Structure 1
Amino acid sequence: MPSIRVLPDVLASQVAAGEVVERPASVVKELVENSIDAGAREVLVEIRRGGAALVRVTDDGCGMTPGDARMSLERHATSKLREAADLHRIRTLGFRGEAVPSIASVSRFRLKTRTAGAVAGTEIEVEGGRIAEPRDAGCPVGTVIEVRDLFFNVPARKKFLRTETTESAHIEHQLRLHALAAAEVRIRFRKDEREVFDLPAGLDRFDRLRQIVGLAVGKELLRLETTEGRGLKVEGFLLPHGHARRGRKHQCIFLNGRPVEDAAISRGLVEGFRGGLPEGLHPAAWLWIELDPALVDVNVHPAKREIRLRQPHELREAIAAAVMGASSALQPPKPVLREPPSAPVRPAPPRSPEYAAPAPRPVAWQPVAVECPLLPDPAETSRQTGPRFRFIGTLLGRYALLESEDGLVMLDPQAARERILYEKLLAGGQGSGHSQSLLVPVVLDPGPREAELLLAHREGLATAGFELGDFGGGSVQVSSAPSFVDPAEVAALLTGLADELADEASLSRRFALERLAKSLARKAALLEKTRPEEALALLDRLFECDLPYCAADGRPTLTEFSLGELERRFGSSR
């Protein structure tokens, strides 16, 4: 076995970079956090080619002396910790002293900085972890860090970067998080020499949030009453239940000014809705939490995304209580209850001294004879190439009852139509109708990452009947949609698709089309009135499908009860 050796400093920094620097957005996160910790009132972030070619962060913070500038490039060198006890009272965003040397070890790096009292600034260049001698330089008070050719010396890591648009979207998302966490700081973002946004300082949280989510969504924001407990304070905003989405990417949680992720906090949000959300959906929320640093450990994740709470139940209950305070606005509309249609009742059997019959139960099924010249005669067997059936009736106006060679078959017409439409969409058809131009184009604001995903799959979406365009600023314009989709539902349908795409590792066009085809097929099937008596005509189309026995989501289209099973249930035999 080889002997144990201490890693060289450059190699050790590159290993650390594997934990801290996942992608260009990680570089932006670490550098902007340092700028905010330095007291900056203005931060400018510039990128080229998704951040792989250049990330430049300029701030007007306190700057560094020549000695501190050189020391900042050493591993585990920090101004924010002095002793072990400081780990229990961390209030700064950075504290470990690993980010800057890790970034410098996998890039061509330049640092320029000056303090307010210095005549000249300091400039240091680093290439792949090799530090050049510092030199004097002219620069304003503050710090400028340039990171060029990220992962140029670690080609295996560079191959895992996504497209430029995807990496840019991750950076934009990260900056929006920082903009919400530090509303007192002006944050500007430029991509490939074009200004994406300029968020001014001095706004309160509500105005900063409205700038980011847009005025339309901003009108629906619900302010939570400030909730305080032992060593904690919770405030923030929610959107009504109709904006709930799959996954938690639309939940922004800031703990002591740090964007974090935590399952207990997310559970508190769901519990606050008191069962008002469908299973699997999570509310859209923005929470600012102030917590005694002694009650939270922020040193459990290399990128400081995850935390460990010492009293998670108290925080969860405080969040749930804050959400419940807006319960009247959060409750979904109550469904309109209608009296069920009257059904024929079988006469009660005669009573005898030995037996008292139970109260008769309403029966909502009765055989029907179909007289429709456009459909096959009910007594006629289906002419499709699949199994042969004879239509005998309907159940609850929803299911078709068919007689097969081996017993009783129930058909779900809605599930059957879903399968037919799903395969038609995948084959390049337009479902049950054509694409229609929208009188007023719909503008979506799903977030920068989700917008990039939708635009990346616009060709597949066009096959399904959607015409998408880039509206700028992380927004997408929809100018046409399938004719059977209500324009009011376009936003929810495509936003849900974007969420699913963001949650999946595979981002192929086929994947996007399959996801959309499932949603559209289900929606189109719901819009068409169920007519079980048309079962035989529907079966002809169903058995032309590749997988006729299940809908796109796996629900069965047909269920059979064999004659043997029926005889066992009735205790009879031929």
Structure 2
Amino acid sequence: MPRIQVLPDVLASQVAAGEVVERPASVVKELVENSIDAGAREVLVEIRRGGAALIRVTDDGSGMGREDARMCLERHATSKLQSAADLLRIRTLGFRGEAIPSMASVSRFRLKTRTAEEVAGTEIEVEGGQIGPIRDAGCPVGTVMEVRDLFFNVPARKKFLKTESTESAHIEHQLRLHALAAAQVRIRFRKDDREVFDLPAGLDRLDRLRQILGLSVGRELMRLEPTEATGLRVEGFILPHGHARRGRRHQCIFLNGRPVEDAAISRGLVEGFRGGLQEGLHPAAWLWIEMDPAWVDVNVHPAKREIRLRKPHDLREAIAAAVMGASSALQPPKAIEPETSSSERGRPVIPNRPESGVPKVSVARPVMPSVPAARAVWQPVAVERPLISQEPVTEAAPAGPGFRLIGTLLGRFALLESSDGLVVLDPRAARERIWYEKLMAAGGQSVHTQSLLVPLLLEPGPREVELLLAHREGLASAGFEIGDFGGGCLQVMSAPDFVKPEEVQPLLLDLADELADEATLSRRFADERLAKSLARKAALREKARPEEAMVLLEALFQCDLPYCAADGRPTLSEFSMGELERRFGLSK
């Protein structure tokens, strides 16, 4: 057993970097938080090659003097904590002093900074944790931090980076979070010398949120009136239940200006909808929470994403009460907003906005993309025959087990006689299994496809757009033709004929949520998830028709797994004679 020894500083920083610097978006998060803590009114973030080649963050904050510039590269050096008691009243975004030395240990790092009192600034370069000479530099008041060649000296970590577009999407999402948390700061984002967005300072939260979400979704936002409880205050915006999704990535929670994640907050949002959500779905929400710092511990996660609440029940109840306050807006939609042209998307100025701001309850619209439903016209495309004929069929000899049709139950189930007893067939589950296996085997070649005269425009967010575009080929084989419309927007040119226009967005967003939750985004995984969703839609579209059970059974027993649907539900349930005799007390 080797003797215990203290790690060298460079190695200790590289170990810490494994917790703090997960990917380029982690670097952007830490540097932007430092800029906001420094009182910056404007922050410019520039990246190249998804952040792997370059991340540069420029701010006009207070800057640092020469000694502070040198000290910020030392581990656990910070100006934000003086004693253990300060941990109970943390108001700054950063406080541990680990981020800068950690990222400098796994990159080629450069720092330029100047305070208003100094004539010359300070410049320091660090390569793989080795600090170079400190020299004077000409620069404006503020700080510029550059991180080049991230993980150049830790190739094992570099292998785990995703594609450039995926890493860029994560960075863009992180910046949007900071833009919502600090609306008083102008945030600009440039990717590969192209400006992605420029969010001006001085807008209220609603206008900034509308800038980020787009005009179509922004119109459906419902304000949550400020709700106060002992030591805390909650306010924000939610979307109607039709926008609920399976993951929580569309829930943005800001506690004391810090983007956080917490299960108690998510439960409060669900409880506020009072059972109006389908099981497993989570509402879309943006909440700003102010809380006594002594009631929350933000020092429980290396990246400070998760928190520990002293009184989670009080916060959950306050959030539920705030959501319930907009309960009348959670009812089915009463009217549809006037038509909006695609050229109006993304404008910061919101037309027809009441002088008093957004009303507590706004008129909700059905979940639709940016292009109005009236213009979303489906146009059939000539393709092969559907997998399951919808024309009347005649009785056929059974394939597989020797079942005999003896009747139907309430027009929903087929009752069959087997050599061992009674068998109940669910025609809908059977059709779902047949559709699923045909889709997986044929690659969508037998799906009736309908094209749009005017493409549907969806705004799911940069990460979701990237995920779906990465699986464009698999979606095309299933009948969905999609393309990048720019600005975090996706256009859909065609879809299977059994998918209604208003079902396109939730179906694709559910798929994106499942892809994001999966560690390995394989083509096979995406195809399976999409095939399951399409099979369910196709089966629901057709009537049960249990009288056609024998023909359906013939197709079912040609499947690899005929006894269960794609989601594991049984297609057939058997009640043996022995079981029936026991139920009626006839067994010996």
TM-score calculated relative to the size of structure 2: 0.88
Alignment counterpart, residue 489 of structure 1, candidates 493, 503, 509: 503
1:298 and 1:308 in contact (8 A); partners too: yes
State the 1:225 CA deviation.
Answer: 0.7
1:146: which partner in 2?
146
1:229 aligns with 2:217: no
Q: 2:520 is paired with a residue of what secondary structure?
A: coil
1:426 aligns with 2:440: yes
State the 1:572 CA deviation.
Answer: 3.9
1:430 and 1:482 in contact (8 A); partners too: no
Q: 2:442 is paired with a residue of what secondary structure?
A: coil
State the 1:251 CA deviation.
Answer: 0.6
1:100: which partner in 2?
100
Once residues 573 and 124 of structure 1 are traced to their aligned partners in structure 2, the CA distance between those partners, rounded to angstroms, is 88
State the 1:569 CA deviation.
Answer: 2.7
1:465 and 1:480 in contact (8 A); partners too: yes
State the 1:566 CA deviation.
Answer: 2.4
2:78: which partner in 1?
78
Q: 1:160 is paired with a residue of what secondary structure?
A: coil
2:14 and 2:102 in contact (8 A); partners too: yes
Tell me which amino acid in the other structure corresponds to 1:413.
P
State the 1:374 CA deviation.
Answer: 5.8
Tell me which amino acid in the other structure corresponds to 1:567.
E
Pairing of 1:485-564 with structure 2 (within 5 A):
485-564=499-578
Once residues 325 and 431 of structure 1 are traced to their aligned partners in structure 2, the CA distance between those partners, rounded to angstroms, is 49
1:254: which partner in 2?
254
Structure 2 residues not aligned, in runs of 5+: 335-390
Worse-matched range after superposition: 421-430 or 16-25: 421-430
Once residues 259 and 557 of structure 2 are traced to their aligned partners in structure 1, the CA distance between those partners, rounded to angstroms, is 52
Superposed CA deviations along residues 208-232 of structure 1, whole A, max 9, x for unmatched, are 0011111111111110010112221
State the 1:568 CA deviation.
Answer: 3.0
1:303 aligns with 2:317: no
2:189: which partner in 1?
189
2:445 and 2:477 in contact (8 A); partners too: no
Q: 1:275 is paired with a residue of what secondary structure?
A: coil
Once residues 49 and 494 of structure 1 are traced to their aligned partners in structure 2, the CA distance between those partners, rounded to angstroms, is 27
Q: 1:246 is paired with a residue of what secondary structure?
A: coil
State the 1:162 CA deviation.
Answer: 1.2
TM-score calculated relative to the size of structure 1: 0.90
Once residues 67 and 374 of structure 1 are traced to their aligned partners in structure 2, the CA distance between those partners, rounded to angstroms, is 85
Once residues 101 and 235 of structure 2 are traced to their aligned partners in structure 1, the CA distance between those partners, rounded to angstroms, is 36
1:472 aligns with 2:486: yes
2:447 and 2:478 in contact (8 A); partners too: no
Superposed CA deviations along residues 427-475 of structure 1, whole A, max 9, x for unmatched, are 1353874111112211121121111100000100001000010111222
Once residues 299 and 251 of structure 1 are traced to their aligned partners in structure 2, the CA distance between those partners, rounded to angstroms, is 21
Superposed CA deviations along residues 174-193 of structure 1, whole A, max 9, x for unmatched, are 00000000011111111111
Superposed CA deviations along residues 386-444 of structure 1, whole A, max 9, x for unmatched, are 11222121101011111222222111110011011101111135387411111221112
Once residues 565 and 101 of structure 1 are traced to their aligned partners in structure 2, the CA distance between those partners, rounded to angstroms, is 70
Once residues 82 and 14 of structure 2 are traced to their aligned partners in structure 1, the CA distance between those partners, rounded to angstroms, is 25
Tell me which amino acid in the other structure corresponds to 1:486.
K
Once residues 492 and 159 of structure 1 are traced to their aligned partners in structure 2, the CA distance between those partners, rounded to angstroms, is 33
1:435 and 1:480 in contact (8 A); partners too: yes
Once residues 16 and 34 of structure 1 are traced to their aligned partners in structure 2, the CA distance between those partners, rounded to angstroms, is 18
- Structure 2 CA distance for partners of 1:44 and 1:75, relative to 1, 3 Å: same
Worse-matched range after superposition: 135-144 or 28-37: 135-144
2:581: which partner in 1?
567
2:177: which partner in 1?
177
Once residues 389 and 292 of structure 1 are traced to their aligned partners in structure 2, the CA distance between those partners, rounded to angstroms, is 68
1:428 and 1:464 in contact (8 A); partners too: no
- Structure 2 CA distance for partners of 1:573 and 1:9, relative to 1, 3 Å: closer
Superposed CA deviations along residues 229-270 of structure 1, whole A, max 9, x for unmatched, are 222111000011111111211110000100011111111111
1:396 aligns with 2:396: no
State the 1:333 CA deviation.
Answer: 7.8
1:277 aligns with 2:277: yes
Tell me which amino acid in the other structure corresponds to 2:222.
L
State the 1:381 CA deviation.
Answer: 4.0
Once residues 226 and 573 of structure 1 are traced to their aligned partners in structure 2, the CA distance between those partners, rounded to angstroms, is 67
Tell me which amino acid in the other structure corresponds to 1:290.
E
- Structure 2 CA distance for partners of 1:573 and 1:295, relative to 1, 3 Å: closer
Identity of aligned residues (%): 83
1:214: which partner in 2?
214
1:364: which partner in 2?
none
Superposed CA deviations along residues 348-402 of structure 1, whole A, max 9, x for unmatched, are xxxxxxxxxxxxxxxxxxxxxxxxx96444xx642x2x11222121101011111
Structure whose alpha-carbon radius of gyration is higher: 1
State the 1:309 CA deviation.
Answer: 1.1
Alignment counterpart, residue 443 of structure 1, candidates 457, 482, 492: 457
Tell me which amino acid in the other structure corresponds to 2:438.
K
1:286: which partner in 2?
286
Once residues 279 and 403 of structure 1 are traced to their aligned partners in structure 2, the CA distance between those partners, rounded to angstroms, is 36
- Root mean square deviation, CA, Å: 1.6
- Structure 2 CA distance for partners of 1:381 and 1:573, relative to 1, 3 Å: farther
Q: 2:482 is paired with a residue of what secondary structure?
A: strand
Q: 1:73 is paired with a residue of what secondary structure?
A: coil
State the 1:570 CA deviation.
Answer: 3.0
Tell me which amino acid in the other structure corresponds to 1:436.
Q
1:31: which partner in 2?
31
Structure 1 residues not aligned, in runs of 5+: 335-372
Once residues 394 and 199 of structure 2 are traced to their aligned partners in structure 1, the CA distance between those partners, rounded to angstroms, is 66
State the 1:136 CA deviation.
Answer: 1.0
Once residues 292 and 439 of structure 1 are traced to their aligned partners in structure 2, the CA distance between those partners, rounded to angstroms, is 54
State the 1:4 CA deviation.
Answer: 2.1
1:460 and 1:509 in contact (8 A); partners too: yes
State the 1:573 CA deviation.
Answer: 7.1
Once residues 396 and 273 of structure 1 are traced to their aligned partners in structure 2, the CA distance between those partners, rounded to angstroms, is 34
